[in-house]
Chain A
């Protein structure tokens, strides 16, 4: 009964906060978003940052969000009703949904100097919390590549949106390494084999099938040194890389750095990072980051409509500072984001 009461009051408080934020947004930003209008901002709960993919991931159908707090995997619906799925026994390095019922979690534990490092990739059932181990790896700390042993990294995304992991086995005899790409899916065996990945070659960007059989050159290199990941939109008309949107149709380029304006006060460098394409409309989501050469000072979340040349800074629109690591929902209308140790949903609807 006590629990019920406290849950009731908690939901009431959250609802009030959401309504207040919604009113603030609607009253202060009438021109916000051209394809969508914001309905409300929903605070989901506290979360830890997970370095490789970020702190929050949408389920494939967009009905749930997964995040981790204090080593516990949690799932929320889009209204902020959170439940605990299960405890992780090592620190999460990345996680993402495999299906509506499973989440793959890459974990690592480094107990201390001179003691072996453990690395683990597991599948966690989102209903029962049961953990199935996919791969475990133990090595000495740090750098050494041990012949015959396999490490994993990922997940990386194919152009079609599937996740895949790299498993690398070191072979000291031949001097070569064997890299195995492994993808998890739900009855998608055939289609994943034909999925594509993006690879920068010496003379440009190529789209290559996952097994490396076929490749098509998409565009030339825009800069000598390519850093950070490259993304392609669903229609395969644009790619997104560090500070640049490049049209694959007419090779035109849009500099996101030029859109975000001059460096913020007390900073010397501002740019963009952690991108994603909206799966439905001509919109990209990214983190705006500014630093003073030693420390990052300001993070904000930006939405840019590249057909209408319109930038929206989420922080200003919703009145929350330090928004970052946004991720579109599968339908493209909602955005999950992270700010000051909490996960939020920016709920939007089509105009």
Chain B
């Protein structure tokens, strides 16, 4: 018998919870960039506060986020100011069979005008065979097909959280760096590098050093949120295949408003961020049969279960789902053709004929084809007409949808951004309230034609005019006193009739003593004197003049007795002295003429 068939398999079962058992893999490997003898980028001016310090601070806060669910497994390349070789960082993650790798960095540039968020990934294609021209020592990447999605989410979340822009790459915020970063080129797991902002900029360095507005936590939460979103997105296609077309069979309310934080909706597949205007989400109180939404059930790993299904008061998003599924499953709604994130969606007003754009991001992981449709309603949403349609080919990334509107002007218009899926004729949308303006005939867009508008350049649809002078309050320089001519001699925006200093430019109208005169034209700023009486005409009002009847504009009062020198005839004494170790020197003088009458020391 050949020895080759003698091999045997020895098996030992070990529960992962036992004290010394090795776990199979970790969920994420966090790598605070640089450290120890490698400071990374140097900070703008704060001594000993360089990139390695910022990276570690952020990473440890990410750890706090990872600890919260208590079931996410992770490892760190460093948790102190340690020197760690690049290849060790990647190899350690590989040894631990990590599913993902996030290296946290902060950028630097001599150009202070540059300010953006960036995330790096590697596009090196995965392949059954190694590329023939591969750089010696680098790997080819089998597990890299989701790197760009992870990096994309990181850039978006951090950029939005910081309120700074994304780098001007082809896909903003996303850059392929397979050939310039070892932790990417040597990694076999989904990997990304974050370059959140520029610590060479003194303002941004201070953000981190002083933790302005919880800046560190903001970045750490953004990194965690992006990673979590990426994790959830991985199940997207698989679940679609498994459950598409399955109708809910039982009533089982599931509440997912866990995703709703303040005005930010954080659902993994349908999200709207940073909108200044009120919005409607097309999924509120919907069910599949009446609102034409796809509903999908998604399995997920256990550690998210406890946060998914819970009870909340309004607003509640209710779905009817199959109650046969247990609590280890997720229930999420998404539209196959268009889970998207609009991140510049403010629509305040639009002039007729003016070109504008709606910019949106298709969530990485989106599949299918469809159309994006901009619709307009002039009657509060009762009826809609299409402005324009753009085909959607399933690509991810940022998109611009140019649009414009025609007349007539409408004060209560709505703009609806709708995604329509070819596969199953389903759609979803977000809606913005806005105003359509005729920027020529009604320049202030308040619905009143210029010639009839009591304030043609400032929007005041109510035309309020308190003093009845024909000039609307919104642009009246004296709204409570009739002044049809709007006279304003000092050009300080306050009409003469209600200006507390009509001839002195004083925009703030400061008046410390509360009399009728503003400080800049009051002859006694600290004491109310409506009459402004000044007998000696020295520019200082009587009520605060130290020589009421004698001209003394400088108000000199050497002996400090409250009487100005020019009218102080009482001899006052003033003694001064100085001390040194040996003696006390002193002098005494008459204040009137300042002549010394006694001096000496002892």
Question: Would you call A306 an interface residue if the criterion is a C-beta within 8 Å of the partner chain's C-beta atoms?
Answer: no
Is the CB–CB distance between A184 and B79 below 8 Å?
Answer: no
Is the CB–CB distance between B80 and A91 below 8 Å?
Answer: no
- List, in ascending order, chain A residues with CB within 8 A of B218's CB: none
Chain A residue with minimal CB distance to B126? Answer: A110
Is the CB–CB distance between A228 and B95 below 8 Å?
Answer: yes
Report the contact-size class of chain A (Cβ under 8 Å from the partner). 35 or more
- List, in ascending order, chain A residues with CB within 8 A of B80's CB: 224-225
- List, in ascending order, chain A residues with CB within 8 A of B451's CB: none
Question: Would you call B423 an interface residue if the criterion is a C-beta within 8 Å of the partner chain's C-beta atoms?
Answer: no
Question: Would you call B110 an interface residue if the criterion is a C-beta within 8 Å of the partner chain's C-beta atoms?
Answer: no
- List, in ascending order, chain A residues with CB within 8 A of B4's CB: 99, 101-102, 125, 127
From B298-306, B481-489, B495-503, the one touching the partner chain is B298-306
Is the CB–CB distance between B15 and A178 below 8 Å?
Answer: yes
Nearest Cβ in chain B — how far from A92, in angstroms? 10
Is the CB–CB distance between A151 and B24 below 8 Å?
Answer: yes
Given A71-B129, A173-B328, A227-B88, are A212 and B37 neighbors across the interface (CB < 8 Å)? Answer: no
Is the CB–CB distance between B37 and A140 below 8 Å?
Answer: no
Q: How many residues of B contact A (CB 8 A)?
A: 88
Question: Would you call A208 an interface residue if the criterion is a C-beta within 8 Å of the partner chain's C-beta atoms?
Answer: yes
Is the CB–CB distance between A166 and B22 below 8 Å?
Answer: yes
Is the CB–CB distance between B142 and A151 below 8 Å?
Answer: no
Question: Would you call B127 an interface residue if the criterion is a C-beta within 8 Å of the partner chain's C-beta atoms?
Answer: yes
Distance in angstroms between the alpha carbons of A192 and B129 in the assembled complex:
34
- List, in ascending order, chain A residues with CB within 8 A of B144's CB: 110
Residue of B40, B77, B299 touching A146 (CB-CB under 8 A): B299
Given A51-B94, A173-B328, are A100 and B180 neighbors across the interface (CB < 8 Å)? Answer: no
Nearest Cβ in chain B — how far from A15, in angstroms? 25
Nearest Cβ in chain B — how far from A101, in angstroms? 4
Quick one: CB contact mask for B90-122 with A, threshold 8 Å, 1 for yes? 011011010110000000000000000000000
Chain B residue with minimal CB distance to A72? Answer: B129
From B234-242, B436-444, B544-552, the one touching the partner chain is B234-242
Distance in angstroms between the alpha carbons of A127 and B302 in the assembled complex:
46
Distance in angstroms between the alpha carbons of A322 and B87 in the assembled complex:
14
From A35-43, A294-302, A307-315, the one touching the partner chain is A294-302
Distance in angstroms between the alpha carbons of A339 and B137 in the assembled complex:
8
From A16-24, A78-86, A269-277, A329-337, the one touching the partner chain is A269-277
Is the CB–CB distance between B9 and A183 below 8 Å?
Answer: yes
Distance in angstroms between the alpha carbons of A164 and B350 in the assembled complex:
67
- List, in ascending order, chain A residues with CB within 8 A of B89's CB: 227
- List, in ascending order, chain A residues with CB within 8 A of B36's CB: 269
Question: Would you call A327 an interface residue if the criterion is a C-beta within 8 Å of the partner chain's C-beta atoms?
Answer: no
Chain A-chain B contacts (Cβ-Cβ < 8 Å), number: 266
Nearest Cβ in chain A — how far from B473, in angstroms? 59
Mostly helix, strand, loop or mixed at chain B's interface? loop
Question: Would you call B18 an interface residue if the criterion is a C-beta within 8 Å of the partner chain's C-beta atoms?
Answer: yes
In A266-305, the 8 Å CB interface with B consists of: 268-274, 287, 289-291, 293-296, 299
In the complex, which of the residues B18, B20, B129 has the most CB atoms of chain A within 10 Å of its own CB atom? B20
Question: Would you call B140 an interface residue if the criterion is a C-beta within 8 Å of the partner chain's C-beta atoms?
Answer: yes
Question: Would you call A265 an interface residue if the criterion is a C-beta within 8 Å of the partner chain's C-beta atoms?
Answer: no
- List, in ascending order, chain B residues with CB within 8 A of A153's CB: 24-25, 97
Given A49-B139, A179-B15, A193-B10, are A296 and B24 neighbors across the interface (CB < 8 Å)? Answer: no
- List, in ascending order, chain B residues with CB within 8 A of A341's CB: 134, 136
Question: Would you call A319 an interface residue if the criterion is a C-beta within 8 Å of the partner chain's C-beta atoms?
Answer: no
Question: Would you call B11 an interface residue if the criterion is a C-beta within 8 Å of the partner chain's C-beta atoms?
Answer: yes
Question: Would you call B7 an interface residue if the criterion is a C-beta within 8 Å of the partner chain's C-beta atoms?
Answer: yes
Question: Would you call A197 an interface residue if the criterion is a C-beta within 8 Å of the partner chain's C-beta atoms?
Answer: yes
- List, in ascending order, chain B residues with CB within 8 A of A127's CB: 4
- List, in ascending order, chain A residues with CB within 8 A of B33's CB: 293
Is the CB–CB distance between B328 and A172 below 8 Å?
Answer: yes
Question: Would you call B285 an interface residue if the criterion is a C-beta within 8 Å of the partner chain's C-beta atoms?
Answer: no
Is the CB–CB distance between A141 and B146 below 8 Å?
Answer: yes
Q: Mind listing 21 A-B residue pairs with CB under 8 Å?
A: A49-B138, A91-B130, A99-B4, A125-B4, A142-B100, A144-B238, A145-B301, A156-B22, A166-B24, A170-B301, A180-B11, A180-B13, A181-B13, A193-B10, A199-B20, A211-B14, A273-B88, A289-B86, A289-B87, A291-B85, A295-B180
